[in-house]
Amino acid sequence: MYGIAFQAMGCHMEALLDSDDLQAAYALNAVAAQFAAWEQSFSRFRCDSELSLLNQKRQGVVSEDLWQVLQAACGMARFSTGLVTPLAGKAVRQAGYAQSFVAGWDIDAPEENVTVADWQAILFDAKRRHVTLPPEADLDLGGMAKGWCAHKAVEDLGRFAPALVDAGGDIAVSGALRDGSAWEVALGRREDKPTAFLFLDQGAVATSGRDVRHWRKNGRLHHHIIDPRTGQPAQSDVMRATVVAEHAVLAEAAAKVILIQGSSAGLAWATQQGLAACVWSEQGWQSNDVFAAGGFRQPVLL
């Protein structure tokens, strides 16, 4: 087994290959550089990133990678009936998340009402890969970009051996391990120790939460997951939601929908979509019944 760990997109990243072949190890070592290139395209914290320049100019021809992530993000906006949107950039900044996250923020700043623009107002010209943003709306691809990168990286690595890529909690696998067993995936940590494990031999798992990336603004707790209906950080009983799906982008989007909707409505929605989901809410751990139906074993709680 080969593994590599690195920092990118403000998160801890990890990639694993179940192989003893040196060629596979060389492929693994290229992953960090690939994530650095993606960060230069997708980051809203870099003023010279492709995404930041598009936000500044409001329109332009974009790279193939940014085009694909935008299409995926809009697809998830459609799937979630707008609860997950690529146009929450201004609302996230207004909430206080204006720079790469540092724990312990305490911000004093004016409170403003922010209206999140309709994602359907983004104009696409597929022939030229040209994108036009609606007025006063900024892109923030955040978790959608991480999920896309995890899926893309594990596709590339899976050509060499069974692979797992963890992009800051968005985890994709190329298939089972060489011996046919499932990957053991840690879900959440407390005092740097896993709180639960999930066993995954296909697809992806993503976790979205407000228990880590939170801060105080004007004395009140804020976090980075925006409810586009209010333009404010989502208010629900869910601290952290985890979803297993066939694609990391879908898992990421669904986890955010559950956190925004709350445990009862969110888990019911996940069941309707045929997705395996669990939450850590203020009342404790809960899950829907799709884990067994989907062929995934229940998480093992510690």
Give the pLDDT of residue 302. Answer: 39
pLDDT of residue 198: 83
Q: DSSP states of 18-30 as a string?
A: ----HHHHHHHHT
Exposure of 285 by Cβ count < 10 A (0-12 exposed, 13-18 middle, 19+ buried)? middle
| pLDDT by 10s per residue, the chain, length 302 | 899 999 998 888 999 999 988 888 888 989 999 999 999 999 988 889 999 999 999 999 999 999 999 999 999 999 999 999 999 988 888 765 655 544 555 555 556 778 899 999 999 999 999 999 999 899 999 889 999 999 999 999 999 999 999 998 899 999 999 999 999 888 765 555 556 778 888 899 999 888 766 556 556 666 678 899 998 888 889 988 999 999 999 999 999 999 999 999 999 999 899 898 888 877 776 776 555 444 445 555 43
Cα–Cα distance, 184 to 187 (Å, whole number): 10
Name 84's Cβ contacts closer than 8 Å, sequence gap at least 6.
73, 76, 77, 144, 253, 256, 257
- Summarised one tens digit per residue, pLDDT across range 43-54 is 988 889 999 999
Tokens matching residue 242? 């985890």
Q: What does pTM read for this prediction?
A: 0.88
